[in-house]
Structure formats: structure tokens, C-alpha cells
Structure 1
Amino acid sequence: MAPRTYWKGYLKMSLVTCPVQMMPATSDNEKVRFHTLNARTGNRVVSQYVDAVTGKPVEEDDEIKGYPRGEDEYVLFEDEELEAVALDSVRTIDIDLFTPADSIGWTWYDTPYYLMPDGKVGEEAYSVIREAMRSTGMVAISRLVISRRERAVMLEPRENGIVLWTLRYGDEVRDPTDYFKREDEKPDPELLKLVTRLINDRKAKWSPKMVHDPVQDRLLDLIEARKNTRKPKRKARAEPEAEDVPTNVVSIFDALKRSIAGEKSGGSGRKK
């Protein structure tokens, strides 16, 4: 069964408008998920807001948003007040700014979505906007309300479609210069040559199998084996075994030479 459309609206650039629909580009629906149960009754456990002081449950109608301004002191806001500061339209992606595609660093990218024309009517306008961005090497910057939150978004032509990325806000991205120190010394040419050789020996064409999740498979096997067995006895958590830490210190030059020798002989230097 085809997944339900996540969002529908309009893509607008100047006087050009076309109906579009959007779907998340990624999914975790196939991941193994567990419910939390009451071990005594076997019933599911549900979460609930409780008053931090009285410990009593809070009814949904009594919930309100609060911004802290001091210890145990808050500025209160109704949902309608917070929604009023959002975009006027939650159904239009209005493009009025473009920037070179290679000018946005990867740290700004957040969540990808597939943006597609919604019906035959919008296909021509959609394809014109897509190909114009592709031919100029540009991406579009706009804003969109997703899950009741206004987000900056980037529209990028990709294959026969457009990928819409939500972008992180300026205060969410840390400056890399605070963490990556400037390197004044250049690496030893001989070491660089050996590492480059190792990279070339191990390169392969990208495949989704490279990011296969083996834990998922083991969980599915465990679930299948447990379906026809009795309830497991709860065991005390075992202490993790200490990892073996190499105690012998060798030069990086010697280690690289041995790695390359292992590659040649088909030894353990390379994982199959």
C-alpha cells in the first residue's frame, strides 16, 4: 500500500504556481519497536503529564505553555498566541531567494523530503522551476510550517524531482573552527603515500548494503525464536567485559607497511 501524502500545498515563484505534495525521503517504519509493559500484569504502560509538585495527573485542558523567567516563575502563553507568530500561509512554499548549491555546508542540512507535482496540472511549472535551478547551479531558500513549527527549507533539484531539506537554525550549528585546529605542519609525504594506497585498495562503489543494520536482523531472529516459548525469566544485568586495549606502541609507518603487506597476502588486514 502506498504511503499517505505527508503534506500538500503549492510551490510559488513570482507569478508561477503549481500544486505539489511532499513525502519524507527516509522511513523507520521497518525498524523493530518494543512497547513498555507492566511485568506483573502484561498490560501496556502509558505516559501521562503529572504536576511536578502535587504528583497528580494534569488534564489536557489544563495544560499551557510557559517560558521560564526565573526560578519556578514562567511567562504563560496560549496555543493560539504562539500560532499567531507563524507564517500566514502553511500551504505555500513561496520562493524569493536563490543561492549557489555548493555554498550551504552539510551541517545545515536537517531532514530530507521528496517534493512532487500534485497532478498533471502542475507538472510543467514544476519541471521548469527544477530545470532552471539545475542549469544555474542554484538551490531555492524558503520557509514552511511542518508539524506546527516554522522551518527554513532548501529546494534542490535531484534526478527527475526536487528534494526539500529542512535547514537547521543559525544557533543550532557550531562553528567548526572552535574544534578543528589549524594545521601548520604538512603530513609526512611517505606516510601520506601509504595511507592513499590503503584507501585505493579498499575503495568500492556505494551500495545501501554498506549501511545494513545487523542488529535489526538479530532482533527479528530473537523475536521469531521467542514467539513460541514461555515468558523469559528476568536476569540481572551483566557487567560489560573490558575491551582489550593494545599495550604495545608501534610507529604509524610500521603499522601502515604491515597493513599493506596484509592486503597483498589476503590476510586479516582487510575485512571481507
Structure 2
Amino acid sequence: MARPIWTGTLSFGLVAVPVGLYAATEDHSPHFRQLERGTSDRVRNLRVNERTGKEVAYGDIVKGYEVAEGEYVVFEPAELEDLAPGRSRSIEISGFVRFQEVDPIFFDRTYYLGPRGKEYANVYGLLLRAMTETGRAGLATFSMRGKQYLAAVRPEADLLVLQTMHYAEEVRDPHREVDNLPGEVAPREKELATACQLIEALSIDWEPEAYHDTYGEQVRDLVEAKLTGRETVAAAPAPESTNVVDLMDVLQRSLRQAGAGEDSSGQRSVAQPEVAAAKHPPAAKHPPAAKHPPVARDKAAAKNAPAAKKAGAAKRAPAGQDLSALGKTELYRMATEQGIQGRSTMTRDQLRQALEEVARPRRRLRAVS
């Protein structure tokens, strides 16, 4: 079991329960060491006096708060540790709000909040149940590692979750930070209807297991390729910006790519917006499974037995190839030849499934002709 990164007391009113704070997420990103080119010598960051260029020992470093250019108020580390944030061991809930009313931009990091002993399970469970019944989250402040945090404590299934939050003054005004915001936009009705149809055609269920750090996977594939001396694959260029003049054409081609139907000539056709709205009403939660992009089918495909997967891939593979036996580099090359969009961010399984999807309509059309 993981050890808590913070321990203290969670309280509301006169009710208090000892709790521990546990990290809810972990970093799987690839990490690199800095090396001097042409050697395997590591390069380290040192604490250096910028005036003398000499390294400074950690024990000789104090904190300085700049009040004017080159002028500082100096603090010893112990002076800052004596402030309240360094001593706080309490998460005190000051009020309860509806969680849906809090703008997600205020949320920062997520932690699990658990009782520090079985003897506190009843009080912990009472708070969990009461917050679940009322649909409320508790707003609190607490201190950890010399910093005071605003936090939301909310129920999640069978435990409490704490999410640290930004203070209001830390959230920037988008109208001051972002140039060229559109303001009130009045799109043409046909463009709006087609854009809504495209969103419905691309609607999927939220399945977190279907999403992966594709950059990390590409880095690991590149490491493997370099170790084995194989040819490396460059990422595809970013898509070009959409021209306002061609907006309707781009929307229609996007619908065809999403799978909005096929005509007798084998070209996927787009229904008129009025007809499309009837096929994809706004209340529909998600379109048929056939319209889901490859990334959303990973979870369902993983449930099939390996032998069935290979047999299915062999049937649907272009030119009769067994795609399940191919490596990512070869699958990427084939996806490039087929013009599959988004291939540079796909995993090996997603590339294989996208190629199988491309093969299905072609095989069907040849059978009809």
C-alpha cells in the first residue's frame, strides 16, 4: 500500500476525522538525462553564485523576497517554516457547494483522501454518504509543504477525493490574454447544421482506457528502433488551417470520413442537414458503433480472444495480409499509403484497426459489383 504524502484532520462543524492524503495519479511520461554530445557524461544543474560563478552549498542558501531591483528582504528557512502553512495539520471545510457549479478551470491536482485507521471508518463513511446524498462538495483550505491550498472535497464512489484549486486571482481573464476571440458569431444555418451533424457522427462513450500517451509510446518505439538499427518514422505534419471560403466543403468531407453513408458509386455521401438531423437527433447519446473512430473501439476489441482477433484481421486485411503480425513501422507506412487521418498519434493497435476499417467498404463494394 502507498504511504500518505500528508496526514491531518478533516473537519466540518464539530465533526473531525483523521485522514491521509494519497496521490491519485502518476507520471508515465518518458524522462531523459542530459548528456554532453559525443559522450555518455551526464550534465547536472548546479546552484551557482551568478556574480562569482562559484557553486554554493545548499546549507548556505537563504530566501530573498525582492522589493526593488537588486534589493531583497532576506529570510532564513526556519523563519518561513514557523509560519502557519508549515504547521497546519487540518483540512477544515468552511462550506458546501454543488460540485457542478465550480468551473473546471479552478481545479489543479487530484488526491485520494482516506481515513487513518479503521476506528475512524464510521465518521468517514458518514461524511461520504451525506455528501453523496446532498450532491455537495466541501470547500476547504489546508497547508502542505509550505504552501496553503484551496481545495474541494467531494465523494467519488466509495471514497472521498480532494482536488486542489486555484485562487480566483490566479485565473487569468481570457479576454485580456487571448487575441482575436470571435465574440458573437452568426454562422450560416447549413454550416451550423452540418457541424452539429459531424459532432453527432463523432460522438462516443467516455472510456478512459481507450486513450494513451501516444507521444510516450512513440518515444519508446523510437528507442527500440535505434537499438535495433531499424528505420525511424517521422511524425506527419500538422493539418493545414481551414479556409473560411472552403468551410462547407471541409465539413462535408469530414462527414464522409466519419462514415455518414455511401452511395451506389462507392463514394460516401452526406445527407442534407434537415435529413441528417432526423438521423442524428440532438438527444442521441452516441451514434452506432460503426461510426466510432478507431481509438474508441480499442476496449471492445481487447475483449475478443487473441485467436479471434488474428482470424478477423486476416479476413479484413488489405491484400490478404495478417495485420496483427506486422510491426508499428510497417502499419504506419500502410496507413500513409491509405491516407488515414491522425495516423501519427495512433498506437499500433489503432493503426491496425484503422487499416481494417479501410478494407471493409472496398471488399463490400467489390462483392456488390
Residues in 2 aligned to 1:111 and 1:7: alpha-carbon distance in whole angstroms:
14
Instruction: In structure 2, give the amino acid aligned to 1:3.
Output: A
> What 5-or-longer segments of structure 2 have no aligned partner?
230-234, 269-338, 343-353, 355-369
Instruction: In structure 2, give the amino acid aligned to 1:198.
Output: L
Residues in 2 aligned to 1:90 and 1:208: alpha-carbon distance in whole angstroms:
36
Once the two structures are superposed, what CA deviation does each residue of 1:25-76 show, in whole Å capped at 9, x if it has no partner?
1110x33212223456633332211111111111222211111122211111
Q: Give 2:215's aligned residue.
A: 215
- Note the C-alpha offset of 1:225: 4.9
Q: Would you say the 8 A contact 2:80–2:86 is kept in 1? A: no
Asked if 1:260 is matched to 2:255, the reply is yes
Residues in 2 aligned to 1:63 and 1:32: alpha-carbon distance in whole angstroms:
32
Q: Give 1:58's aligned residue.
A: 56
Residue identity (%): 32
Note the 1:10-89 alignment, pairs <5 A.
10-28=9-27, 30-39=28-37, 42-87=40-85, 89=87
SS of 1:193's equivalent?
A: helix
Residues in 1 aligned to 2:239 and 2:53: alpha-carbon distance in whole angstroms:
47
Residues in 2 aligned to 1:66 and 1:161: alpha-carbon distance in whole angstroms:
41
Distance 1:221 1:246, change over 3 A: closer
More strand as a share of residues: 1
Segment of structure 1 superposing worse, 155-164 or 88-97:
88-97
The RMSD of aligned alpha carbons is 3.0
Q: Give 1:127's aligned residue.
A: 125
SS of 2:84's equivalent?
A: coil
Alignment length, in residue pairs? Answer: 259
Q: Would you say the 8 A contact 1:18–1:121 is kept in 2? A: no
TM-score by length of 1: 0.81
Note the 1:1-272 alignment, pairs <5 A.
2-28=1-27, 30-39=28-37, 42-87=40-85, 89-178=87-176, 179=178, 180=181, 182-183=183-184, 185-226=185-226, 245=240, 250-262=245-257, 263=259, 264-265=261-262, 272=354
Segment of structure 1 superposing worse, 41-50 or 166-175:
41-50
Q: Would you say the 8 A contact 2:111–2:161 is kept in 1? A: yes
Residues in 1 aligned to 2:55 and 2:116: alpha-carbon distance in whole angstroms:
44
Once the two structures are superposed, what CA deviation does each residue of 1:90-139 show, in whole Å capped at 9, x if it has no partner?
32212222222222211110111111122211111112112222222221
Residues in 1 aligned to 2:239 and 2:253: alpha-carbon distance in whole angstroms:
20
Once the two structures are superposed, what CA deviation does each residue of 1:204-224 show, in whole Å capped at 9, x if it has no partner?
111225531222223223334
Q: Which has the higher contact order (CA 8 A, sep 6+)?
A: 1
- Note the C-alpha offset of 1:198: 0.9
Residues in 1 aligned to 2:227 and 2:2: alpha-carbon distance in whole angstroms:
29
Instruction: In structure 1, give the amino acid aligned to 2:91.
Output: I
TM-score by length of 2: 0.62
Once the two structures are superposed, what CA deviation does each residue of 1:163-207 show, in whole Å capped at 9, x if it has no partner?
101111222101245455641x54333222111111111111112
SS of 2:194's equivalent?
A: helix
